[in-house]
Structure 1
């Protein structure tokens, strides 16, 4: 009888804890959906951007440790218009939405793809850049189409739009691949690709273009568009931050009009790839 009573007490405690945690999560989500934090951002002259600091050329660290990149320049330029300092916080990319909801960061600004699944919990700015998921292989592997990945191993980044596309649209690549390996960063994935531990890498075209361009033998890689639709890069924020969204969209338009955006595009891509003036 005592054992039965202890089990009931334990079950009651576990149930209570679960309900408490659920209520806490619901409360946090409700605040994220309703609270406009712009007055606090203005008060402290500070906004926190979450990023994966190995995502070249959007946001990454040089050998010296200095944080640089397309999104770094763009975020600073936008908030300079409002006299606000941008602090960049390195995060686990697979936890980005949780960090945003919990208030650890104010924005996800790091080659972040806008899609219907993410729009259910995150508010997005206007599109400022186009991207596409591509397959990168070593030319020596002889993989010149998606079907040649049959029975082979593919690398993907955990929590990325590429991984979501891979899972949601199996007709393009998943039906051929035998195994997948998930990486926290594309740097690690390229190391394994170069070593032959994986035979293909599904990756953002902006990253692939920049990375391969800076390799000793850029001609050793093959980049292939295999059917995945183009993606929109946008800034992610909490749904309650309606003023912040307006300020970012206005800032992107100003930078497009005064030529700053064109200079940033030229610096990182050598051409104008922005859609922020729409």
Structure 2
């Protein structure tokens, strides 16, 4: 009787151990798969079926037309890339000064809004190759532009620029920040000039070309000297495999003429 009881206990123990082994074996693969997915931004975006794109209103890159539709070079560029990725683009307006926090927290999947490639950008994002050339230019009342031909001649002027922007950096680097006001957007900087609160602002040349002069909302303003030359890139999370994938698609869109057509439409110059 004791032998039978012992054999029964031994059998039950073996079955229990086998069941535990099968459970561990069955759960190992999904956990491994989940870890791989977590490490891949490309898989993350494809799994949810959309790419969340952080932007600010910035003509001609991302802005709404008269019908209320979001258009612009970056808008249409992003749509073309998302089509090739097989996902839907979701555009979310962000506070430009908090763009890296938005990216790291996964509130957005990329920063795609005429973002100048700077040391700060390369430190905080995995940035793509350049796609458009740009410059930071001084914008002021059109009848004053001819009076100021060097940064030194502007030392006593009041300036405005978007907080955290390349324009802000250009003001600081050229020693023009003695009377400087940071604002929320580049359009706000131009409004400050229009109102007379400041003498000048520093914004992207792409915006200055599109939004100042005759026939625009800022007809009394004009672009003056360039303070810097630069290029735009798209920022993904550090280590993101989306960067390489988007670089490949960018090359395809250059080769088939899509990007050049967009550049011609929005009067931009593609990076080499």
Structure 1 length-normalised TM: 0.78
Question: How many Å separate the matches in 2 of 1:102 and 1:240?
Answer: 15
CA distance in structure 2 between the partners assigned to 1:79 and 1:95 by the alignment: 24
Secondary structure of 1:140's match? coil
2:113 aligns to what SS in structure 1?
A: coil
Aligned partner of 1:225 in structure 2 is: 225
Assess if the C-alpha contact under 8 Å between 1:138 and 1:193 holds in 2: yes
Larger radius of gyration: 2
Q: Structure 1 residue 209 and structure 2 residue 209: aligned? A: yes
In the alignment, is the contact (CA less than 8 A) between 2:141 and 2:193 conserved in 1?
yes
Unaligned runs of 5+ in 1: 1-30
Which of 244, 250, 253 is the equivalent residue of 2:251?
Answer: 253
- What residue is the counterpart of 1:12 in the other structure? none
2:99 aligned to 96, 100, 106, which one?
Answer: 96
Shift, 1:64, TM fit: 3.9
Q: Does 1:37 align with 2:34?
A: no
Unaligned runs of 5+ in 2: 1-34
Aligned 8 A contact 2:59 2:210 in 1: yes
Tell me how far apart the structure 1 counterparts of residues 187 and 222 of structure 2 sit (CA, whole Å): 17
Higher relative contact order (CA 8 A, sep 6+): 1
- Write out the 4+ residue segments of structure 1 that deviate beyond 4 Å after TM superposition: none
- Equivalent position of 2:17 in the other structure: none
Provide closer, same or farther for how the CA distance between residues 224 and 252 of structure 1 changes in structure 2, counting only shifts above 3 A. Answer: same
Name the SS of the counterpart of 2:216 in structure 1.
Answer: coil
Pair 216,239 (structure 1): closer, same or farther in 2 beyond 3 Å = closer
* Whole-angstrom distance in 2 between the partners of 1:260 and 1:195: 39
Supply the distance in 2 between the matched residues of 1:194 and 1:124 (Cα, whole angstroms). Answer: 35
Cα deviation for residue 187 of structure 1 reads: 1.9
Q: What's the CA shift for 1:39?
A: 1.0
Cα distance in structure 2, aligned partners of 1:95 and 1:63: 29
Does structure 1 conserve the Cα–Cα contact (< 8 Å) formed by 2:208 and 2:222?
A: no
Q: Distance in 2 between matches of 1:93 and 1:217?
A: 22
Secondary structure of the structure 2 residue equivalent to 1:152: coil
1:160-203 Cα shifts (integer Å, max 9, x gaps): 11112322x2xx342xx541111111222222211221111111
2:68 maps to 1:72: no
- Distance in 2 (CA, whole Å) between partners of 1:186 and 1:117 is 19
Q: 2:157 — aligned with what?
A: 152
- Give distance in 2, aligned partners of 1:118 and 1:247: 19
For the structure 1 residues 216 and 88, does the alpha-carbon distance in structure 2 shift closer, same or farther, using more than 3 Å as the test?
Answer: closer
Displacement of 1:63 = 4.4
Structure 1 residues 116-160: Cα deviation after superposition (integer angstroms, max 9, x where no partner):
122112110010001111111113336322333232210111111
| Alignment partner of 2:260 out of 247, 259, 262 | 262
* CA RMSD, 1 decimal: 2.1
Query: TM-score with structure 2 length normalisation?
Result: 0.79
Rounded to whole Å, the distance in 2 between the matches of 1:255 and 1:263 is 10
- Alignment-derived partner of residue 22 in structure 1: none
Any conservation in 1 of the 2:121–2:127 contact (CA below 8 Å)? no
